[in-house]
Structure 1
Amino acid sequence: MTPWQPLTQPEQLQEIVRESHEQPVLIFKHSTSCSISAAAKGKIERQWADAGLADTKLYYLDLLRFRPISSEIAQQFGVQHESPQLLLIRDGECQYNASHMGIRLSDVKNAVG
């Protein structure tokens, strides 16, 4: 089972930055009305158990309900907004991001090292 942590408050971004200094943190930005986003989310859920990322916290952002948070993510971490999008935050910075069908947990695992 995927350990989704809901990202619903802008203040959580400060918490994510703090956490990222102790362990890598992932943010998955999901549009509930997009079939490509649904496919990417399903792929993450199917692959999570075997991805070797059990120590990585995984946040889930519903873009339709919390669009301003996505804009803050883009500004804070210097990434262009896309959906779906997976970002790896470590040491307060975005060290990996991928979107659409380019999202691969194996790439995240390699980036985490």
Structure 2
Amino acid sequence: MNKLESVDQLKNLYEQTSTYVLFKNSLTCPVSQEAYREMEKFVQAHPDVPLYYLNVQELREGSNDVAETFNIKHESPQAFVIADGNVTWNASHWNVTKKNVEKALAE
């Protein structure tokens, strides 16, 4: 899992044409903690699929930028599959699971 620590890193990520997963995580939410574990399982099973994450408390501006850039209401936890700069799937809360990300990538 690749941690994003600046808005510049995030904006550079938007320019990628390859498929990747973006995960927004809360450091204080138990649902986010479970989603984080699910994303760790995903990375272990699929090391070839880049996964980037940001902690909303540490990078609030970045979290807001994701919502604005993709015109998707902010939630936490929240995961996105992004291909060619477009969101092809997103989910929040208990729907952020290894299985759901795998399913989204297979479509």
With the length of structure 1 as denominator, give the TM-score of the two structures.
0.83
Distance 1:103 1:39 in 2: 9
Alpha carbons of 1:76 and 1:33: their partners in 2 closer, same or farther (altered >3 Å)?
same
Asked if the contact 2:31/2:77 (under 8 Å) is kept, the reply is yes
Q: Which residue of 2 aligns with 1:25?
A: 20
Unaligned runs of 5+ in 2: none
User: Displacement, 1:31?
Assistant: 0.7
- Kindly tell me the number of residue pairs found equivalent between the two proteins: 106
Give the Cα–Cα distance (whole angstroms) in 1 for the partners of residues 89 and 61 of structure 2: 21
Q: Which runs of 5+ in 1 are unaligned?
A: none
2:85 corresponds to: 92
SS state at 2:7 partner: coil
> Contact conserved, 1:16 with 1:25, CA < 8 A, in 2?
no
Q: How far off is 1:47 after superposition?
A: 4.3
Per-residue CA shift, 1:63-87, capped at 9, x if unaligned?
1111110000000011110001111
Q: Percent identity?
A: 31
Matched, 1:66 2:59: yes
Instruction: Give the aligned partner of residue 48 of structure 2.
Output: 55
**One-letter identity of the residue aligned with 1:46:** K
Aligned 1:25-44 pairs, distance under 5 A: 25-44=20-39
